[in-house]
Amino acid sequence: MALRVTFVAAARSTPALAERFQDDRPLDQAGWEEVQRAAGGLIPLAAAELRYCSPTPRSRATGDALGYAPLVQLALRDCDMGRWQGLTLGEAMAREPEAVDAWLADPRSAPHGGEPLLAFIARVGGWLDTRPVEDGGRIVAVAEPSVIRAALVYALMAPPATYWNLDVRPLSTTTVTGRGGRWNLRFDGVAGEALRA
């Protein structure tokens, strides 16, 4: 039996220019308003047999606000950024420019003292591969954009550098179908929606 895993990106808790590594802040008012505006299109995903979320406050709050009552999955936590936790990329670059360059260039490196990008991708991919097929064919998981990017790199068996080229917007959905070790990216469009955009 093939699974259908739909990832929902958590609502934003900060402006895009202030995104921080391992941001543990809860949803702010703008984030709550985003969830309310997007709810009509996302609430139907609550019909999934299994509903999960990242352990971050904004992922849990997004899932709860959409009526998913998601089960927290530690494997869906953000990449461990070590001493860069809570910093923006610009702040990390100002403090340790050579270390940031090494981290961006080599997916095996962890100059921040945390988790290498390759280990992060493997952890998220391991979670994806171990979803129980017998418990149902549809899964929804609310996660941080970084987690969804890692899942896509893993599912597509793409080079790790692809991670830096994926843009996951708040409250966007991404679906993969398949089963452990064999995944496909699925694009679900609504007829006419592109014409209105």
* Number of alpha helices (DSSP H) and beta strands (DSSP E) in the chain: 7, 6
CB 158: neighbour CB atoms within 10 A? 14
Cα end-to-end span (Å), the chain = 36
Q: Please, what is the average pLDDT of the chain?
A: 88
Quick one: pLDDT band at residue 191, thresholds 50, 70, 90? very low
pTM given for the model:
0.89
Give mean pLDDT, residues 127-151.
89
Question: Residue 132's pLDDT is what?
Answer: 82
Which residue type is seen at 93? M
Say yes or no to pLDDT of 182 above 50: yes
Residues 8, 130: Cα–Cα separation, whole Å? 19
Kindly tell me the burial class for residue 69, based on how many C-beta atoms sit within 10 Å of its own C-beta (0-12, 13-18, 19 or more).
exposed
Phi, psi at 3, each rounded to 5°: -95, 155
Higher model confidence: residue 18 or residue 181? 181
Among 1-5, 40-44, 51-55, which is the least confidently predicted range? 1-5
Question: Residue 177's pLDDT is what?
Answer: 92
